[in-house]
Amino acid sequence: MLPILVMIAFIPLLDASKFPLFRISGTLLCRGNPIKGNIIMIDDNFSINDHLLSEKKVELDGKFSLRGEPIDDCLDVKLVVEHKCHGMKAGRGDSSKLKGYSVFPVHISDLVRSEYDFSWDIELSESTVRISSPVLPAWRAWLYGKR
């Protein structure tokens, strides 16, 4: 009982403004047209210390909105977008299901300038693309395991 009372006594002393809630919204585009995909937002520490902040399945209209609250002092985040806006081929087989992923950094200065409500239309055709499987599913599982 005493530990609970001690914790309750310290709650007002915590500075909630130190870790502001923020939002990143926009549209995924492929050659100027909306495209569906999946986005995960993680804080951008060192890879071993990254935390999953938000995840969103983006529909055909390409619109997304992610909300995050930093797990630690890091407000730099990165968006990892899984998509099919590329011309990847996998040997002679059917490449229609082949997904790639691109990484987009968002720096704290972008969040501060936008008053923590950052808007960004992401053109995927101009980004570096890596083959998603097995890298992205393993990375996602590792991030979920840290929650």
Domain for residue 60, yes or no? yes
What is the number of structural domains in the chain? 1
> pLDDT value at position 59?
97
Residue 79 β-bridge partners: 41, 104
> pLDDT value at position 4?
47
Q: Tell me which of 22 and 96 has the higher pLDDT.
A: 22
Domain for residue 140, yes or no? yes
pLDDT at 6 over 50: no
Domain boundaries, position 90:
22-145
Per-position b or e across 7-29, b if 16+ CB within 10 A of its CB? eeeeeeeeeeeeeeebebebbbb
Domain for residue 14, yes or no? no
Q: Tell me which of 69 and 57 has the higher pLDDT.
A: 57
CATH classification at residue 127: 2.60.40.1120
pLDDT at 10 over 80: no
Most confident of 4-8, 17-21, 85-89, 142-146: 142-146
> pLDDT value at position 104?
96
> pLDDT value at position 13?
42
pLDDT at 8 over 70: no
* pLDDT tens for each residue of 63-120: 999 998 876 666 789 999 999 998 765 555 555 667 899 999 999 889 889 999 999 9
Kindly list the distances between the CA atom of residue 73 and the CA atoms of 17, 54, 106, in Å, as whole numbers in the listed order: 12, 17, 15
Kindly list the distances between the CA atom of residue 31 and the CA atoms of 83, 125, 146, in Å, as whole numbers in the listed order: 13, 6, 36
